[in-house]
Amino acid sequence: MPQPTESTDPPVPASAAAPTAAPVVHIVGARPNFIKCAPVMRAMAAAGIPQRLVHTGQHYDVRMSDVFVRDLDLPQPDSSLGVGSGSHAGQTAALLTALEGALVSADPAARPALVMVYGDVNSTLAAALVCSKTGIPMAHVEAGLRSFDMTMPEEVNRRVTDILSDLLFVTSPEALDNLAREGVDLERCHFVGNPMIDTLLAHLARFDPDPMRERLGLAGPYAVATLHRPANVDTVQAAGRLVAALHELSARLPIVLPLHPRGRATLTAAGLLDVPELQVVEPLGYVEFLSLVRGSSVVVTDSGGIQEETTILGIPCLTLRPNTERPITISHGTNRLVEPDRLGAAVDAALRGELARPGDGPPLWDGRAGERIAALVADWLAARA
């Protein structure tokens, strides 16, 4: 089987000039997409590649989307589709229709040279389906991650997107093994590192915990929590387990919970607002949130990206899930999987320093993934031209 591309230095494009007038189109729709997209767009601009940014509006609240354009110095989107929320089926259907209109032109010369999709949200899946049906080449950033839990909507999105992608950019070595097992041609796969970490390292000096401590009245150690996974918050019964776990955590540390719109009603119905020593705040911008995390003693989450960010920041992370598509954050980071009824003991272990990060961080998480992706795309475009 052919071996994937792996490089510790960005390959040099054949030419700094754009090999084609047709643009590379980036599709973003949710918080993590913006964070991963920013370093890729920056590097492509430096390589002279024409680009467009399409915001689907999957996250439409300013605190969940527009603030990331500002915080990450992204250009204003060329198109904002305003799809909004809904059931998985309803939202995906609306995304398919809107993205087909945004990507397919009556003039074949105006079609994108390549569409870039990020992560595993419904916007990513919908873009992959539109590109496949209309013959537009597509690249998937963060390919090959697997939880092996098909009850997770994100797992379905990841698998389908990888099958349909022409280029697959991989963030960690085990993802290559996953793709190989699924029969993906490894000549299309490139191990480039993690663009989410590019963004974190580029903004590291901005993550000052003191203003957030002062704003929230945090005089001593505290925990940060984020909860939004469907399996955790879509029923009052599941949400009740999390609320009980937060009760146990609050006996040890004050908690700050930036509350995602998803699950707000069920968590509240399960008694979230009765948890002592808990501050529920609105979703935070990128710099605000990571400043808060950087000053914390422990993070409790069910998010994927935060597992990666805490790995680099060295903050103990307790993930309230039975699995993770990011096992490298366990083997090379501070992340541990925890059942809600075991959270108290896990927090005690974290506060004793038992989740220290190994000396060697994840390979290629060095802040240059965006450069590697841009260089590979430039060569791919030049070869097709």
Q: Using an 8 Å Cβ cutoff, are 291 and 209 in contact? A: yes
Residue 59 is predicted with a pLDDT of: 58
Tell me: do 209 and 174 sit in the same domain. Answer: no
Tell me: do 295 and 160 sit in the same domain. Answer: no
pTM above 0.85, yes or no: yes
Give the residues across from 24 on adjacent strands: 51, 114
Tell me: do 60 and 208 sit in the same domain. Answer: no
Query: pLDDT per residue over 183-192, tens digit each?
Result: 999 999 999 9
Please, how many CA atoms are within 13 Å of residue 240, restricted to the half-sphere of its CB? 5
Residue 61 is predicted with a pLDDT of: 53
Q: List residues with catalytic annotation.
A: 228
Tell me: do 327 and 262 sit in the same domain. Answer: yes
Query: pLDDT per residue over 21-35, tens digit each?
Result: 799 999 999 889 999
Instruction: Name the domain count of the chain.
Output: 2
Tell me: do 83 and 138 sit in the same domain. Answer: yes
How many Å apart are CA 101 and CA 64, to the nearest integer? 24
Domain assignment present for residue 190? The answer is yes
Residue 187 is predicted with a pLDDT of: 96
From residue 262, alpha-carbon distances to 60, 87, 94, 110, 268 in Å are: 12, 11, 19, 37, 11
Tell me: do 45 and 95 sit in the same domain. Answer: yes
Sign of CA dihedral 328, 329, 335, 337: negative
Burial class (CB in 10 A: 0-12, 13-18, 19+), 110: exposed
Tell me: do 186 and 333 sit in the same domain. Answer: no
Domain assignment present for residue 374? The answer is yes
Closest to 224 in 3D by CA, of 285, 276, 295 = 295
Question: pLDDT category, 242, cuts 50, 70, 90?
Answer: very high
Domain assignment present for residue 359? The answer is no
Tell me: do 211 and 329 sit in the same domain. Answer: yes
Query: pLDDT per residue over 67-102, tens digit each?
Result: 777 788 888 888 889 877 778 888 889 899 999 999
How many Å apart are CA 318 and CA 295, to the nearest integer? 16
Residue 18 is predicted with a pLDDT of: 43
Residue 64 is predicted with a pLDDT of: 47
Is residue 198's pLDDT more than 90? yes
Residue 106 is predicted with a pLDDT of: 61
Tell me: do 49 and 86 sit in the same domain. Answer: yes
Domain assignment present for residue 360? The answer is no
Give the residues across from 298 on adjacent strands: 223
CATH number of the domain that residue 186 is part of: 3.40.50.2000
Rounded mean pLDDT, 115-124: 96
Tell me: do 98 and 39 sit in the same domain. Answer: yes
Query: pLDDT per residue over 283-301, tens digit each?
Result: 999 999 999 999 999 999 9
Rounded mean pLDDT, 35-60: 91
- % the chain with pLDDT above 90: 75
Is residue 320's pLDDT more than 80? yes
Tell me: do 294 and 246 sit in the same domain. Answer: yes
Domain assignment present for residue 241? The answer is yes
Weakest mean pLDDT among 37-41, 88-92, 157-161: 88-92
Amino acid letter at 110?
A: A
Strand ranges for 86-182 from DSSP E: 114-118, 138-143, 167-170
Residue 12 is predicted with a pLDDT of: 42
Mean model confidence pLDDT for the chain? 90
Rounded mean pLDDT, 127-149: 97
Residue 229 belongs to domain spanning: 204-351
Is residue 17's pLDDT more than 50? no
Tell me: do 32 and 180 sit in the same domain. Answer: yes
